[in-house]
Copies of this chain bind each other. A is one copy, B any other.
Amino acid sequence: MALPELYRKLNLLANADLTTAAVQDALRAVIEAALDEVAAAEMIPLISKVPGKVYGMASANGRKSRPINTALFAPDIAREQLFEAIFKTTPPFDAAVLDRCLYTAAMSFPVARDLFMEGDKKSPGTFFECLIGHIVAARYGVNPKRQILVPTLDEEVMIPTDFIYELGQNRRIHLPIKISTRERVVQVWAHQKLLDGMHGANRFKGVLVCLAETNKQKDVSVTEVCLPNQWRAYQMYIARLDRVYYLDLPVKYAALRDAYPHIQVWPFSKFFEEADNLFNMANAV
């Protein structure tokens, strides 16, 4: 099957149940086909305005891809090693290797789509949501919900949400998944506040997962768009996110850990280490 069909198949399976082996197989098929296509493309260096990071872009077919963090992107990695890492890792593990595998898998389809597919602009976001949603669903053995009942006194109302994982009493996760956030990120804190308002503070752990915050300028240079002061204000005055994980973590957001209100922003590999501890209140910062 070609990549667009593989993607549609993944999408159908993921909508049915994110925990299944069928979804994992469909993810493997999409990632593998996407990396095959990307491997044939030319890699062109970009001028990185992000200290300490090197970016390039893939080029093929008269098209150019989004920026790629070249230290994290490893399309030549043995496929079995890649899938073992992203789908089977348990502690202890080499975080640097896991981060490269996760980033490579996450970028595979978006980059391939930039170069080879027309149409649906939402597909990279949907793919990324399937990938992260499945990793978390498989880890906890729970298929997330995408809506929640609003408990009003006079009637019942369902409203759509990001992924909600219900693992049992007082073990619920609110998991928004975004390719990038920019100023739209306030939506994440707002939805967390909505859950807190309906059910009480800290009843749903707020866990945001993002791919990157890169911005390509004129096919020449790359910046990261970061709004750390807004994030601090949202964390202080709107709601509390428990964790933010990045596949390509901006240094300015990692630094948020070091000052009040100490937002816990980490590489996504850290989830594999602390998935069981997210509900351990002694670990709460």
A interface with B by C-beta (< 8 Å):
150, 152, 154, 157-160, 183-184, 186-187, 189-191, 193-194, 196-198, 229-230, 232-234, 236-238, 260
Contact = CB atoms under 8 A, between A and B. Distances in A.
Interface centre among A152, A154, A159, A238 (most CB of B within 10 A): A238
B186 A238 contact: no
B197 A157 contact: no
A226 to B, nearest CB: 13
B190 A232 contact: no
Nearest to A229: B157
Nearest to A158: B229
B194 A238 contact: yes
Nearest to A150: B233
A186 B190 contact: yes
Contacts of A260: 152, 154
29 contacts: A150-B229, A150-B232, A150-B233, A152-B236, A152-B260, A154-B260, A157-B232, A157-B233, A158-B229, A159-B230, A183-B187, A184-B184, A184-B187, A186-B190, A186-B191, A186-B194, A187-B190, A190-B190, A190-B193, A190-B234, A190-B238, A193-B237, A194-B237, A194-B238, A196-B237, A197-B236, A197-B237, A197-B238, A198-B233
Contacts of A230: 159-160
Contacts of A233: 150, 157, 159, 194, 198
Given A150-B229, A159-B229, 20 more contacts: A150-B233, A150-B236, A152-B232, A152-B236, A152-B260, A159-B233, A184-B184, A184-B187, A186-B191, A186-B194, A187-B190, A190-B190, A190-B238, A193-B193, A193-B237, A193-B238, A194-B233, A194-B234, A197-B236, A197-B237
A190 B186 CA distance: 7
Contacts of A236: 150, 152, 197
Nearest to A231: B159
Contacts of A198: 233, 237
Nearest to A259: B154
Contacts of A158: 229
Nearest to A195: B237
A152 B229 CA distance: 11
Contacts of A193: 190, 193, 237-238
A42 to B, nearest CB: 30
Contacts of A186: 187, 190-191, 194
Nearest first, the 4 closest Cβ-Cβ pairs linking A and B are A197-B237, A190-B190, A186-B190, A157-B229
Contacts of A197: 236-238
A266 B152 CA distance: 24
